[in-house]
């Protein structure tokens, strides 16, 4: 299996002075401006902001699906490109992006297959993952036989296939109904506690960001900047459960994030501003 | 009887009933003396000819069918290979595009007299070449389209996995293209039969369905000409249905293919 070396740098992601400029027909669009950010190993960090604030762009840069115009991104101390080639992260998108001609099992096995993991080991790992995301009876099904929530769970299992220490998620629950969404959020907390992977999670839902994260990075658009980073004072995410959604502390955190998001003073205590 | 079952049987029965009504009306009209027999032979007369010339029809269908099949296979193979090249190399796409556009607009059978003369009067090759040319166009166009159907999110996924070019082709691009390829082949199948058959009108060896339709009509054996037309329809339908079945099978568990 793909075991990572036991000693690794403390930081999963470091983003230093990153700008991203897209040239379009109508001139240049500044998508990101002077982004500095760190995600520690095992930490759950959400990127939140209105559409156009560059949160998905930032995630794509970390994943090396795009390159920054200026600045540096390191993943576990390596250049982003190296980290991608070394498969240091798993990724999930808003669309489940399953291959419709493959069964659930074969979709989950895709990264293992591409990276030449032996058939027996592959089968064992896929069985484990299907259990992990609670799709025990659906291994032989095809994506179009599953609901949106189940498809997204397959995508998460696929992202976890190679036991990455970093999980990049771009609004993975964005297209789901509220019930399924809350359910999968709790599942994700459990899974990230079990795998101890760091997570960078893009969302535009404040309650979602608060419920899941150690820290919430609030961004604003045109050009995409970090307005503030709000640490969640709710205990470690792995100890959270649905009950927390009714806690006063939870609502306080929602208010704290909302205030930074809407640029409203006063800035709550404990917020790093830049 | 439940609703869907009833709907299903009505769907099958409705066209059968319509067909029967048309045939009966046709028979009555042809027998009424209002229309001359050479203009509109009765279904019964055509039926007699079908029975009488059954062996000849089978062998004629065999000849035309084989020409169509060879043309279809050659045209499809070339169409797929060239589409792969065109998608891999822009330059080839630019080179081939005008040729395909030209092939798509000229009636391929217009080449029949030329090819028949080129390859000699006793060769089936001209007809096969025409069927191949006619098949090539839809297979090429659909394959090119299919090879360009990969979704950006899937390409991102493959990049995230650091998949090699060959791996992307094998696991993403080709499987995405396959339904389109088979749609192209299904469209080409009917064209192949039509082209191979019509090409027989312009000389070359005798014995195919097209040739026999032409000679029967020329010798005023109208019911027999119609009988060969019926055989041609059956041959065309067979090609269509077989390729449709292959398309359905190859498409398997995906979004339904547009007809």
Model confidence pLDDT, tens digit, residues A78-94:
888 888 888 888 898 88
Residues in chain A closer than 8 A to B171 (CB atoms): 99, 110, 113-114
Nearest to A97 among B157, B162, B171 (CB): B157
A167–B contact, CB cutoff 8 A = no
Residue A92 touches partner B, C-beta closer than 8 Å: no
Tokens representing B174 are 């080709």
Does A80 lie in the same domain as A122? no
- Of the two residues A264 and A158, the one the predictor is more confident about is A158
> Does residue A141 lie in a domain region?
yes
pTM for the full model?
0.76
Residues A155 and A177 in one domain: no
Specify the DSSP class assigned to residue B89. Answer: -
pLDDT for the residue numbered A1: 47
Q: Is A174 on the interface with B (CB under 8 A)?
A: no
Is residue A221 within 8 A of residue A41, CB to CB? The reply is: no
Same domain, A176 and A222: yes
Least confident of A51-65, B25-39, B183-197: B25-39
The pLDDT of residue B255: 47
From A123, A148, A163, the end of a domain falls on: A163
Average pLDDT, chain A: 83
Residue B238 pLDDT: 92
* CATH code of the domain in which A179 resides: 3.40.50.300
**Closest CA of chain B from A95, distance in Å:** 8
Residues near B217 by beta carbon (within 8 Å), at least 6 away in sequence: B225
Which residue stretches of chain A are H helix?
55-62, 80-85, 104-114, 119-132, 148-160, 178-195, 206-212, 248-261
- The tens digit of pLDDT for each residue in A206-237 reads 888 888 888 888 888 888 888 888 888 777 77
On whether residue A140 sits in a domain, the answer given is: yes
Mean residue pLDDT across chain B: 85
Tell me if chain B has a CB within 8 Å of the CB of A163. no
In CATH, which of 1.20.1260.10, 3.90.1750.10, 1.10.3720.10, 1.10.340.30 is domain B50-251? 1.10.3720.10
Higher per-residue confidence, B255 vs B259: B255
Are residues A146 and A191 located together in one domain of the fold? no
What local confidence, expressed as pLDDT, does residue B66 receive? 93
Interface contact B171-A63, CB threshold 8 A: no
Report the distance separating Cα A133 and Cα A156, nearest Å: 8
Bridge partner residues of A90 (DSSP)? A167
Report the pLDDT value the prediction gives residue B138, as an integer from 0 to 100.
Answer: 92
Residues A220 and A183 grouped into a single domain = yes
In a domain, A185, yes or no: yes
**CB within 8 Å: B255 and A144:** yes
A140 burial level (CB within 10 Å; 0-12, 13-18, 19+): exposed
Asked, for residue A130, whether it belongs to a domain, the answer is yes
Q: Is residue A5 part of a domain?
A: no
Which chain A residue is nearest to residue B251, measuring alpha carbons?
A101
Q: Which two tokens stand for residue B213?
A: 């339709």
Number of domains in chain A: 2
Query: In the structure, what pLDDT confidence band is assigned to residue A188 with cuts at 50, 70 and 90?
Result: confident
My answer on whether A154 and A201 are in the same domain is no
Across the interface, do B253 and A142 touch by the CB < 8 Å criterion? yes
In chain B, what residues touch A97 (CB-CB under 8 Å)? 151, 153-154, 156-157
Q: Are residues A75 and A182 in the same domain?
A: yes
Q: Which tens digits make up the pLDDT trace of B175-216?
A: 889 889 999 999 999 999 999 888 888 877 888 888 888 888
ipTM: 0.82
Range of the domain at A43: 11-88+164-273
How does strand A70-75 pair with strand A78-79? antiparallel
pLDDT digits (tens, 9 = 90+) for A126-135: 888 888 778 8
Which residues does chain A have within 8 Å of residue B255's beta carbon, measured at their own beta carbons? 100, 144
Where do the structural domains in chain B lie, given as residue ranges? 1-33, 50-251
The verdict on A74 and A109 lying in the same domain is no
Task: Clarify whether residues A248 and A194 are in a common domain.
Answer: yes
Instruction: Indicate whether A185 and A53 sit together in one domain.
Output: yes
- Sequence-distant (6+) residues with CB within 8 A of A254 are A206, A207, A210
């Amino acid at each position: 299996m793909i075991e990572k070396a036991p000693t690794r740098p403390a930081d999963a992601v470091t983003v230093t002075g990153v700008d991203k400029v897209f040239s379009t027909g109508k001139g240049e669009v500044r998508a990101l401006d002077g982004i500095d950010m760190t995600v520690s190993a095992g930490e759950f960090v959400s990127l939140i902001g209105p559409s156009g604030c560059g949160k998905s762009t930032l995630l794509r840069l970390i994943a090396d699906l795009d390159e920054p115009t200026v600045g540096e991104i390191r993943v576990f101390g390596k250049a982003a490109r190296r980290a991608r080639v070394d498969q240091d992260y798993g990724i999930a998108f808003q669309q489940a992006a399953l291959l419709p001609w493959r069964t659930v099992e074969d979709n989950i096995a895709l990264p293992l297959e591409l990276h030449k993991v032996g058939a027996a080991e592959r089968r064992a790992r896929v069985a484990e993952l299907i259990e992990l995301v609670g799709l025990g009876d659906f291994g032989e099904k095809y994506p179009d036989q599953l609901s949106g929530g189940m498809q997204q769970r397959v995508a998460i299992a696929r992202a976890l296939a190679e036991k990455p220490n970093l999980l990049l998620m771009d609004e993975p629950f964005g297209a789901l109904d509220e019930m399924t969404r809350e359910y999968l959020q709790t599942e994700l907390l459990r899974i990230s506690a079990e795998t101890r992977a760091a997570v960078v999670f893009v969302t535009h839902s404040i309650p979602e960001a608060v419920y899941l994260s150690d820290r919430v990075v609030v961004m604003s658009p045109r050009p995409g900047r970090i307005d503030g980073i709000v640490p969640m004072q709710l205990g470690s995410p792995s100890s959270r459960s649905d009950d927390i959604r009714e806690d006063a502390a939870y609502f306080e955190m929602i208010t704290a994030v909302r205030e930074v998001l809407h640029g409203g003073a006063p800035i709550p205590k404990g917020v790093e501003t830049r | 009887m439940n609703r869907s079952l009833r709907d299903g049987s009505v769907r099958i029965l409705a066209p059968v009933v319509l067909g029967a009504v048309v045939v009966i009306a046709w028979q009555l009209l042809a027998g009424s003396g209002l229309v001359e027999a050479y203009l509109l032979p009765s279904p019964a007369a055509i039926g007699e000819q079908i029975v009488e010339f059954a062996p000849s029809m089978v062998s004629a269908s065999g000849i035309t069918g084989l020409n169509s099949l060879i043309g279809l296979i050659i045209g499809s193979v070339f169409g797929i290979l060239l589409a792969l090249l065109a998608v891999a190399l822009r330059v080839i796409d630019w080179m081939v595009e005008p040729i395909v556009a030209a092939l798509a607009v000229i009636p391929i059978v217009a080449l029949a007299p030329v090819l028949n003369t080129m390859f000699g009067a006793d060769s089936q090759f001209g007809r096969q070449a025409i069927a191949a040319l006619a098949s090539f166009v839809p297979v090429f166009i659909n394959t090119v389209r299919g090879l360009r159907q990969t979704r950006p999110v899937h390409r991102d996924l493959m990049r995230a996995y650091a998949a090699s070019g060959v791996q992307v082709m094998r696991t993403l691009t080709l499987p995405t293209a396959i339904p389109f390829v088979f749609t192209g082949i299904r469209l080409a199948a009917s064209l192949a039969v039509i082209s191979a058959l019509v090409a027989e009108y312009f000389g070359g060896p005798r014995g195919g369905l097209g040739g026999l339709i032409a000679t029967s009509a020329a010798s005023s054996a109208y019911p027999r000409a119609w009988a060969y037309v019926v055989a041609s329809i059956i041959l065309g339908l067979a090609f269509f249905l077989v390729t449709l079945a292959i398309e359905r099978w190859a498409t398997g568990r995906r979004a339904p293919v547009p007809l």
